[in-house]
Structure 1
Amino acid sequence: MRVLVIDIGGTNVKVASTDTPVPIKIPSGPTMTAKSMCTQVLAATKGWRYDRISIGYPGPVVNHRPIAEPHNLGEGWVGFDYDKAFGKPLRFINDAAMQALGGYKSGRMLFLGTGTGLGSAMILDGVVVPLELAHLPYKKGHTYEEYIGAAGLEHRGKKRWRRSVLDIIELLQKAMVCDNVLLGGGNAKLMKKLPPHIVVGSNENAVKGGFRLWEDLTSKQAAKL
């Protein structure tokens, strides 16, 4: 079985497959719609062979469909006919949950994805639980995402941004009663001197998670995402 993995982000859409595991990038941004994403992915992967599709979506997902429009992209994602556009069996999963699934090893793990926005998920003894923490209040009337998303990094600088990342991890880890934390997203690599219970995830985790979504061991839980 060959799987096409589509990881939708606020800056790029990353696309990989079983035969092409190193992702290619398609620029996204605030004007990208669901229709344009599908059109560009199909054009970029013309000639690729795949039987199934995994789509990591930057927002809440229920029954393999987005239920809210993304904050950092264009409109028209909810209600779009993805089955018709791609013509293949597909599964949607929250993008943070897909990365978490790809990097999970054992126990109770919290995942935070520090990219354009802030993705979050937990895995509890093998069960994936997508979270929506980015827009909850944190400090001074601002949200977690506003502090440690891309805008927070740009406005506050790396040093203050790193302190906020560690502070937020500590707060959430205590609240969620987690054994360890997987830190992903494009800006995770900027962190320094992390305690042993915090690990920076590999860029390959999203692709691995997309593959795992179709494996027998995860198919039952995937149906609940």
Structure 2
Amino acid sequence: MNANDGGPYTLGLDIGGTGLKGSVLDRNGHMIVDRARVPTPKNCKPDQMVEVLTKLVKPLPPFDRISVGFPGVVRNGKVVTAPHFGTDRWRDFPLQQKLGERLGKPARLSNDAEIQGLGIITGYGLEVVLTLGTGVGSAIFAGGRMTPHLELAHHPIHKSETYNEYLGAAARKKIGSKKWNRRVFRMIEIVQTLLNYDVLYIGGGNAANVDKDKLPDNVKIESNDMGITGGLRLWDDAVWQSARDIGHGGD
């Protein structure tokens, strides 16, 4: 495949705490096949993750490059934190390099919420992305540019509970959707006070469970597929340089 038939083609990988998803994107960021998905192994180790992703990719069409979203802090192509898998075993793991070598194509790695945001944002004003899945992901963009990563997931939001503990999938399962939704709206108020955003986008697997009819006008629910399709923009040189300038990008 090449640029004359819709390429270059980008493999978009979205690593989640409960599921690993991937598809191949054309030059416009459209999936050329339905996304593939497999469960995330429990307490997944770095080398194990590389192997599972390699198997996930096998049935997909050929691609020229790779974009990877990871649920934690990443810097210079390496993992800094991995709350869903065990940070101690993941710290400093060169996931960008390892996947590139394993799959034989150049790879770029960023935080999963940031990649989702790249597929959503308009590029105007202060735009915030929160993903509601196994935990809570966050990304902030000013004028379309990534800002230094703010890991809200580990910050206290209610008494001693972090965003992950207060709003993650386990909390929703425990307290039910009605009470969980009250927590979501409390979070929206807190983040508005904290950041004074122009627009807040909510994505992730649990975004579908948010009561959309009660949302403020500047809060929008977005497709979880953006975690894959947003990966195309990591190959925009200006975006990647911006990510590198603040420590998100790799070599």
TM over 0.5: yes
Q: CA offsets per residue over residues 37-74 of structure 1, 9 Å max, x none?
A: 22222223226311211110111111122122x12225
Give 1:175-214 correspondences, 5 Å limit: 175-192=194-211, 193=213, 194-214=215-235
Which stretch has the larger CA shift, 208-217 or 110-119?
208-217
Q: Does 1:85 align with 2:85?
A: no
Q: Does 1:71 align with 2:83?
A: yes
Shift in CA distance, 21/63, structure 1 to aligned 2, threshold 3 Å? farther
Which stretch has the larger CA shift, 36-45 or 113-122?
36-45
Report the alpha carbon displacement of residue 131 of structure 1 after superposing the two structures with TM: 2.0
1:3 corresponds to which residue? 10
Q: What residue identity is the alignment partner of 1:32?
A: C
Report the alpha carbon displacement of residue 154 of structure 1 after superposing the two structures with TM: 1.3
2:38 corresponds to which residue? 26
Rounded Cα–Cα distance in structure 1 between residues aligned with 2:64 and 2:43: 29
Q: TM-score, normalised by structure 1?
A: 0.92
- Contact persistence 1:5–1:211 (CA under 8 A): yes
2:50 corresponds to which residue? 38
Report the alpha carbon displacement of residue 21 of structure 1 after superposing the two structures with TM: 4.8
Q: Secondary structure at the match of 2:52?
A: helix
Rounded Cα–Cα distance in structure 1 between residues aligned with 2:236 and 2:229: 11
Q: Does 1:49 align with 2:67?
A: no
* Larger fraction in helix: 2
1:61 corresponds to which residue? 74
Q: What residue identity is the alignment partner of 2:13?
A: I
Q: Does 1:222 align with 2:243?
A: yes
- Contact persistence 1:21–1:207 (CA under 8 A): no
Q: What residue identity is the alignment partner of 2:126?
A: R
Q: What residue identity is the alignment partner of 2:137?
A: G
Shift in CA distance, 222/62, structure 1 to aligned 2, threshold 3 Å? same
Report the alpha carbon displacement of residue 218 of structure 1 after superposing the two structures with TM: 1.9
Q: Secondary structure at the match of 1:131?
A: coil
Identity of aligned residues (%): 35
Q: Secondary structure at the match of 1:154?
A: helix
Rounded Cα–Cα distance in structure 2 between residues aligned with 1:125 and 1:111: 14
Unaligned 5+ runs, structure 2: 1-7, 27-31
Q: What residue identity is the alignment partner of 2:111?
A: N
Rounded Cα–Cα distance in structure 2 between residues aligned with 1:136 and 1:29: 26
Rounded Cα–Cα distance in structure 1 between residues aligned with 2:52 and 2:104: 15
Q: CA offsets per residue over residues 151-185 of structure 1, 9 Å max, x none?
A: 11112211111111111111112211200100011
- Contact persistence 2:79–2:90 (CA under 8 A): no
Q: What residue identity is the alignment partner of 2:121?
A: Y
Q: TM-score, normalised by structure 2?
A: 0.83
1:152 corresponds to which residue? 171
- Contact persistence 2:71–2:111 (CA under 8 A): yes
Shift in CA distance, 137/204, structure 1 to aligned 2, threshold 3 Å? same
Rounded Cα–Cα distance in structure 2 between residues aligned with 1:111 and 1:99: 8
Rounded Cα–Cα distance in structure 2 between residues aligned with 1:181 and 1:137: 20
Unaligned 5+ runs, structure 1: none
Rounded Cα–Cα distance in structure 2 between residues aligned with 1:154 and 1:62: 32
Rounded Cα–Cα distance in structure 2 between residues aligned with 1:215 and 1:149: 32
What number of residue pairs does the alignment pair up? Answer: 224
Q: Secondary structure at the match of 1:187?
A: helix
